Structure 1
């Protein structure tokens, strides 16, 4: 062990010793003719961690300057913490990890009890908090983090420390305290991965306090930062963890908007705070949540709310079709009929919404328009032909609608294979009504 200690000693004294070199003499003929010799350096094999720790323990038993003792103690504590983490969950190690954590904690506390003459106390507190948490003492870990943020407001560990504090406070249902900790972590900067995680949990802490608009402010900031990922939301290329974060964020955003009036709440919030390119995701998420709650009319209303405000958006036709499908599937025929009619009128050929729709969206929508136009015409044709006591005015109105939808279809899809059959149905209807002209 003493040999290992001697190996470690220079590492602790890096930068403290300089090597003296002789000034080179004038070149000689022999030196000019000599070939340089290449010396192959032997690879240095690092001793195992157990030997390294034993070496530090030997060093600590020897008289040494305070700074050397301090550094050796710190390194020994770090190694014991690292060893404890490696043993954690290893059944064959028994209780060894707990002993490692206890030893590391004792060493960190011993260093912190000194007068603070040495730099790096914030790191000691950070490591102590980690060790206490791994040892299963979260309250003591929290105390170390509290001390870190109180005494070292400019520490590079501050952001993570505030996030960890927020997690502890949130778990204790101290949502106001968690809010302040997460907000401090957010304010510490955007470069760290803890920034976006803190934004997410800040939103949740505010939501738990029923501060729904403030929660939405935090979630909106997060979604703004992940706008590129939202564009790839339906792609398999999006990493699982990122997809789950976005799904969870959109879900709690939807829960917040349910408290603020549903789709009308979305309309109001984004009128006040500006539109977003990912806004369709919010309406879709709200509709999907309503659907899971079996609130079919509210679900379709959320989908249609986006369509009515942004009819030329590439996602608008799909949301309208989703509303129609849910009306049909869940037994709302009159609402399905109205939504089909709204679709056909909104995307009328040469209408503003159709003209502004991108070519790929037009191509995707066209077969659905073809089908729904036929459905509309067939529906009113069937009403005209139904038996029973119906006023002449009502039957005439149905007739006019059936004719209008047949003609709409023929004007939109002239010369297609199905157009002949549609034209025949129109002629049959006109004949039945005696409209020979």
Structure 2
């Protein structure tokens, strides 16, 4: 459209620079062309002064110009009108005033006073130039003065005066260098005044003029608008086409911003012209008759844009379709088709847009025949179209995907799937940038196509070993877990487990502090453990870096501990279980599991040490279970094994300590009796006999085995006896005798031991009691149950009782009352002889010789007792003598019996038996028979009697 003169040709700044240049040129021109020099040479002197001061005072330019200005003013005051130099002075002074005015107006700190001064100087400039024209109308260079005056008027805003001044310039100076510019300004004035015919003429004059390069294109374009305003649309189009061809525009994208602005303006004018002519048909006809037209597509596009602004959508689209049909292989046909899609989209016609896009995709997708030989030639265009196609496909996918999310209809799913596939077919390189795989995966997931959803989530979420989309990666893990759970055969399970582990590992490594990472590790490690992938379980669990103690983290650590155990990394398992036990937030169930796990981990360390024959280390492991987890099921077993190994390796004192700990911790344990046995063994081997005996004694009450109970009591008694603990030995033996009358042999031996113990403790009566019990038992026991030992014990018992009776026999003295004491002595003698005879009857050499000797001695003692007995006091001497003879008669048979028994003892020598009793018997015989053996003793009869 037409523009104001000042804004079309000059901006304020450009005008200022132009006028400054013009003033300088004008001054030089007038000075050089002046035919006569003033007689006073005043103007020349001023010019010379100006030049010299300019060289000498470069640092004080304002002062110099002020001096020059004052010199010109002074000159003009005295110069007459007839002085031709005065005209030059007027113009030079006007140039100085104009320059000062511009400098004041251009100052960044200009204030109201400065603006006022600038306007005064501008007015002074106009006044000087008007004076010059008025006083010297025939001056040779008045075209310059008029041009300068027109500019001053324009600067002052007096546009009518500017217009009139330019008319004078154009009319009076057709050969002036400012003629074309003055005509162009006059044309612009005419256009602004809507005098389009006049404007057309003036523009035409410029167009046909020579040397019109500066104003040719603008005049051509403005003439087109002048004709357009007169409704000469074809003629206007001719001018616009010539202006377009004159510019020979390159590709629009390669133009500068100012060139693009001009491009848009020209083609908009073309579009508007043909919109008034009726549209695309006149346009087609026009270009059929035009030989050369550049950028033809943009003319159709501009016409389409014009119709679009008028909301004539069908005409807008029809224009572009017409272009496509005429030029199907054109570089711009794809762009035209794309523009059709955009028109329908912007105008809100959904179905038309869909149809147009389908057509566009069919004809111009990257693998279409259209691009077969054009990708290289139209590389930029191809890239632009491809990018637009990609964006439109994104719209299609989003549209149908949203519809499917709302409707859940198969048709919407199918359409969305199709466009996702189309995108990936052509633009897979941009899929991550546009988040396509993630969106495509969510579509499949909604449609319950989980494996395809997994595939695209993985493409969206991972780039080899790097997570590229956190949300997609998490979905990969979730789906892998779901598909693992649903898998029905081992092969599928293995595949999905591998995928779950891999994705979870990468996710946790890249986002170790993410709140979802713990959940990911928990599920993956649990799945790995359940499928016996213990190394993977450990690796996953060790990705946890949180120091917090949460239920989920505790679960992970528990699984890790179990995995360490399964891989026989028992030390690591122990450490993990131990850490769990120290966790306050652990549930009772989990704490119990951790406790038992810790115990087992240590137990198997002990077992491993045993296998490697590191027995001390094994014992240490087994024993410390009860220190760390005394209430675990394994603790008792471990401690029991520590005891067994300690005994096996003869580490008696540690074994005793472990056994005591075992008893303290596990008093009701099923192995309690076995522990007591082991303790007794340890005590025995560590020379702690009394302690061993006590344990054996306890065992006799708790052990199930009768044989072991019997043996325990007997061994306890023996240990007590060996260590001189008589009372404890007696207690054990009595308990045995009371509890186990059978079998006969140990029972009989126990009674014998009691007799010995009581004798040792000088408890003779108790010893004799058990001697009698022995004989009583012996009497009731069949001979088949007896042996040499029982015969010895019985014989010994009889000897003991015989000795007791013998001592009683010895204590009875034959004194008054003689009859009574004689009776008592005979009874004691008989009892003693009977016990000795019984002792001898068992055929035990040791006791038989003693018994035989004792019987002989008793008889001899009785004989002597009779001979030395107290004589009754009432006897006379004769009676006394008679009494003594009678005593000798009574005593002699006993002496004879004594001799016979001594001789019996001597007979044992025939069996190579010779002990103290035989020796004593021999000695006794020597006393009784100084002359040896005058007669043979009647041994056999006595033996028979005794038996």
Could you tell me the TM-score, scaled by structure 2's length? 0.33
Cα distance in structure 2, aligned partners of 1:66 and 1:57? 15
Equivalenced residues, count: 349
Residue of 256, 266, 280 corresponding to 1:238: 256
Aligned pair 1:304/2:304, yes or no? no
Q: Which residue of 2 aligns with 1:53?
A: 69
Q: Which residue of 2 aligns with 1:148?
A: 169
Q: 1:184 to 1:82 in 2, by over 3 A?
A: farther
Q: 1:49 to 1:284 in 2, by over 3 A?
A: farther
SS of the aligned residue for 1:118 comes to coil
Tell me how far 1:261 sits from its aligned partner.
Answer: 1.6
Q: Which residue of 2 aligns with 1:113?
A: 134
Tell me how far 1:218 sits from its aligned partner.
Answer: 2.0
Q: 1:338 to 1:115 in 2, by over 3 A?
A: same
SS of the aligned residue for 2:331 comes to coil
Cα distance in structure 1, aligned partners of 2:102 and 2:365? 66
Q: 1:296 to 1:63 in 2, by over 3 A?
A: closer
Q: 1:352 to 1:147 in 2, by over 3 A?
A: farther
Q: 1:144 to 1:120 in 2, by over 3 A?
A: same
Tell me how far 1:116 sits from its aligned partner.
Answer: 4.5
Whether the 8 Å contact between 1:200 and 1:218 is mirrored in structure 2 is: yes
Cα distance in structure 2, aligned partners of 1:169 and 1:243? 28
Tell me how far 1:143 sits from its aligned partner.
Answer: 0.8
Moved more, 154-163 or 164-173: 164-173
1:179-229 CA distance string (max 9 Å, x none): 22222233335654333332332222222222212222222222122223x
RMSD: 4.1
Cα distance in structure 2, aligned partners of 1:155 and 1:252? 33
Residue correspondence of structure 1 range 29-108 to structure 2 within 5 A: 43=56, 45=58, 46=61, 47-63=63-79, 66-88=83-105, 90=110, 91-108=112-129
Q: 1:329 to 1:171 in 2, by over 3 A?
A: closer
Q: Which runs of 5+ in 2 are unaligned?
A: 1-26, 36-53, 397-417, 429-947
Q: 1:11 to 1:357 in 2, by over 3 A?
A: closer
Tell me how far 1:146 sits from its aligned partner.
Answer: 0.8
Cα distance in structure 2, aligned partners of 1:243 and 1:184? 28
Q: Which residue of 1 aligns with 2:295?
A: 278
Q: Which residue of 2 aligns with 1:225?
A: 246
Q: 1:354 to 1:114 in 2, by over 3 A?
A: same
Moved more, 325-334 or 280-289: 325-334
Q: Which residue of 1 aligns with 2:331?
A: 314
Cα distance in structure 2, aligned partners of 1:331 and 1:61? 78
SS of the aligned residue for 2:256 comes to coil
Q: 1:313 to 1:145 in 2, by over 3 A?
A: same
Tell me how far 1:161 sits from its aligned partner.
Answer: 0.8
Whether the 8 Å contact between 2:34 and 2:85 is mirrored in structure 1 is: no
Q: 1:162 to 1:85 in 2, by over 3 A?
A: farther
Cα distance in structure 1, aligned partners of 2:28 and 2:142? 23
Q: Which residue of 2 aligns with 1:200?
A: 221
1:104-136 CA distance string (max 9 Å, x none): 222222222345543212111111111122222
Q: Which residue of 2 aligns with 1:125?
A: 146
Q: Which has the higher contact order (CA 8 A, sep 6+)?
A: 1
Cα distance in structure 2, aligned partners of 1:95 and 1:80? 14
Tell me how far 1:50 sits from its aligned partner.
Answer: 3.4
Q: Which residue of 1 aligns with 2:202?
A: 181
Query: Looking at CA atoms only, which structure, 1 or 2, has the larger radius of gyration?
Result: 2
Could you tell me the TM-score, scaled by structure 1's length? 0.67
Q: Which runs of 5+ in 1 are unaligned?
A: 1-8, 18-40, 376-405, 417-437
1:327-364 CA distance string (max 9 Å, x none): 35545456446645655776699998556645335676
Residue correspondence of structure 1 range 322-337 to structure 2 within 5 A: 322-328=339-345, 330-332=347-349, 335-336=352-353
Tell me how far 1:238 sits from its aligned partner.
Answer: 0.2
Q: 1:192 to 1:76 in 2, by over 3 A?
A: farther
Q: Which residue of 2 aligns with 1:6?
A: none
Residue of 183, 189, 193 corresponding to 1:168: 189
Cα distance in structure 2, aligned partners of 1:273 and 1:12? 52
